[in-house]
Amino acid sequence: MYVDATFRGIFLVVFLSALVISGYHRRRARRSGEVIPRRAEGSIALLLRMAMALIVAVSFFAYVFAPTWLAWSAWSLPIWLRSATAAVAVGCLPVIRWVLVSIGDNVSETILTKSTHQLVTHGPYRWIRHPLYAVALLELLALALLAGNWFLLSVSCIGAVVFRWVVIPREEANLTKVLGKDYEEYRRRTGALVPRVRS
């Protein structure tokens, strides 16, 4: 169907654009500063990261290039909802760039903190501590709804839970070790993935 082909095309363009934007900024950070090898996180974290990346990559590319592989998890959603989430997915791209420009050379391939890490409190970091995770998770959720596929949506939701309850606490423990009281104060006045509501 033409509509499904259009959504698959948007899905592919958005997904690849996000990878290109992220790859460009991460490559710049690797060239200009300290690099923490992924194996430094430990073998379990490395295996989990690779497994999750493989599941996302295979399922996302299967949706685009071999949609019959995921037909069992197709979800009949109204076109207006899929169109709205397509707009959200496209809208995430400039936000991803904004986040990466704001964090600059501090961006890391791991949850470990560079010894040269500087506390960033401008751009989206003014309101939330992990805007890159937040926008990436929003992008994945939007793409899953755009695809009208409950399996892709469940993968995105599992990713959100893992990031919120496993990755972020470990990363923040490392940031606190490196940045000390400055990070503790920053943490008190900002939200992890959404802005903190002040009374």
Q: Which residues pair with 149 in a beta bridge?
A: 74
Q: What HEC string does 175-196 produce? A: HHHHHCHHHHHHHHHCECCCCC
Contacts of 146 (CB under 8 A, 6+ apart): 7, 10, 11, 82, 85, 86, 89
Decide if pLDDT at 181 tops 90: yes
**Cβ atoms of 193 and 133 closer than 8 Å:** yes
**Cβ atoms of 146 and 82 closer than 8 Å:** yes
Q: How far apart are CA 85 and CA 4, in angstroms?
A: 14
- % of the chain exceeding 90 in pLDDT: 67
**Cβ atoms of 189 and 119 closer than 8 Å:** no
Residue 154: predicted pLDDT: 95
Q: Give me the mean pLDDT over the 120-128 stretch.
A: 96
Q: How far apart are CA 8 and CA 67, in angstroms?
A: 9
Phi, psi of 128 (to 5 degrees): -135, 150
Residue 119: predicted pLDDT: 93
Residue 39: predicted pLDDT: 77
Q: How far apart are CA 114 and CA 107, in angstroms?
A: 9
Decide if pLDDT at 52 tops 90: no
Q: Give me the mean pLDDT over the 113-122 stretch.
A: 87
Q: How far apart are CA 49 and CA 102, in angstroms?
A: 25
Lowest mean pLDDT among 1-10, 39-48, 155-164: 39-48
Confidence of residue 1 (pLDDT cuts 50, 70, 90): low
Which is more confidently placed, 44 or 60?
Answer: 60
Alpha helices in the chain (DSSP H): 2-32, 43-65, 79-103, 131-147, 150-162, 168-179, 181-189
Residue 2: predicted pLDDT: 81
Decide if pLDDT at 199 tops 50: no
Enter the tokens of residue 4: 């499904």
Q: Which residues pair with 128 in a beta bridge?
A: 191
Which is more confidently placed, 42 or 123?
Answer: 123
Phi-psi region of 117 (alpha: psi -120 to 50; beta: other; left: phi over 0): beta
